[in-house]
Structure 1
Amino acid sequence: MKNTEKQKELYFEKVYDNIRNKGYHTTAVLEEDNFTPFAYSTGIFENFKIPELFISGLGPNLSGEIIQNYVEKYKFSEVSLNEKIDDLVENFPVYFIKIKNENLSEYVLTSIKFYENKEYAYLQLIFPDLKGKFPNEPGYDYDQTIVGEFLL
């Protein structure tokens, strides 16, 4: 078995262990030159009956904390879309927007493999810049890739 195949196998063992033990796995892709970091969940839709979460532009620790808060707050309930949420993250409000799975096909490879032909859904978390401005507001200045449609 080639080294990369072994690495993939070990990675997916970890993914499935996390989903079994915690209900979900968080994948974080780190920032590089000319590349916005992102993170996403896998397993939340199946285990907690709410959409998976995609976050662009935040580091892995904060993204992991947000995904954990999201699961605790919304599991087995309704998630408010396109509304300002003030109690998910301590330092700033956020919005959730619906996104089409096909718009994430280059990002959420772990989820694509995990769900294969099963149904699943994703939301994107939208957050403000350091001055509290959201995308679409004048003066917004942050590197956050918006995959869905965000309207204030």
Structure 2
Amino acid sequence: MEDNEDKKEIYFKRVYDNIKNIGYHTTAIMEEENFTPFAYSTGIFENFKIPELFISGLGPNLSGQLIKNYAEKFKFRKVPLNQKLNDLSEMFPVYLIKVNNEDLTEYALSSIKFYEKRNYEYLQLIFPDLNGNFPNETNYDYDQKIIGKFDA
């Protein structure tokens, strides 16, 4: 029977393989009762020289697609912060905001392990609710945990 150490080793081998082969790994934590799902990248900062991406409140497939679009669109370029971006997803506009690594300590465990003492940065992707309202707008209604400072 596998113990937790074996499972961790297998998991981190997959993380490192993905980072080596495609440039990054996406970790997605599923929704549970009283728990908002989230996803984040590991390896984008090292391989594409742009911040890692954290997304709260979306399922793993959509989060994975957004992280992929982000990496492809902005790698080795300047990432626009606090601006409405209409071309990262066909479904809705998004904002990218700065997040302090310390604020993601309980989320981005794979990145913390991967980067160890090396420098890395994170952005959070902010998306609208089903009616197109963003968190800073009246009537916003969605379970999205805002970690960074959103003041677009």
TM-score range for the pair, normalised by the shorter chain length: over 0.9
- Matches of residues 9-20 of structure 1 in structure 2 within 5 Å? 9-20=9-20
Secondary structure in structure 2 of the residue aligned to 1:85: coil
**Structure 1 consecutive aligned stretches of length 4 or more whose deviation exceeds 6 Å:** none
Secondary structure in structure 2 of the residue aligned to 1:97: strand
Aligned residues: 152
Normalising by structure 2, we get a TM-score of 0.99
Q: Which residue of 2 aligns with 1:111?
A: 111
Report the residue type matching 1:5 in the other structure. Answer: E
- CA distance, structure 2, for counterparts of residue 137 and residue 148 of structure 1: 16
1:31 aligns with 2:35: no
Deviation at 1:24, TM superposition (A): 0.1
Report the residue type matching 2:104 in the other structure. Answer: L
Q: Which residue of 2 aligns with 1:85?
A: 85
1:72 aligns with 2:72: yes
Deviation at 1:2, TM superposition (A): 6.3
- CA distance, structure 1, for counterparts of residue 124 and residue 2 of structure 2: 35
List per-residue Cα deviations over 1:7-59 (Å, max 9, x = no partner): 00000000000000000000000000000000000000000000000000000
Structure 2: 5+ residue stretches without partners: none
Secondary structure in structure 2 of the residue aligned to 1:53: strand
Report the residue type matching 1:46 in the other structure. Answer: E
List per-residue Cα deviations over 1:73-111 (Å, max 9, x = no partner): 000000000000000000100000001000000000000
Normalising by structure 1, we get a TM-score of 0.99
Q: Which residue of 2 aligns with 1:50?
A: 50
- CA distance, structure 1, for counterparts of residue 35 and residue 136 of structure 2: 21
Report the residue type matching 2:76 in the other structure. Answer: F
- CA distance, structure 2, for counterparts of residue 12 and residue 91 of structure 1: 32
The CA RMSD over aligned residues, in Å, is: 1.0
Secondary structure in structure 1 of the residue aligned to 2:13: helix
Secondary structure in structure 1 of the residue aligned to 2:103: helix
Q: Which residue of 2 aligns with 1:120?
A: 120
Deviation at 1:136, TM superposition (A): 1.4
- CA distance, structure 1, for counterparts of residue 139 and residue 63 of structure 2: 24
- CA distance, structure 2, for counterparts of residue 116 and residue 71 of structure 1: 22
- CA distance, structure 1, for counterparts of residue 21 and residue 54 of structure 2: 21
Identity %: 70
Report the residue type matching 1:145 in the other structure. Answer: K
Secondary structure in structure 1 of the residue aligned to 2:144: coil
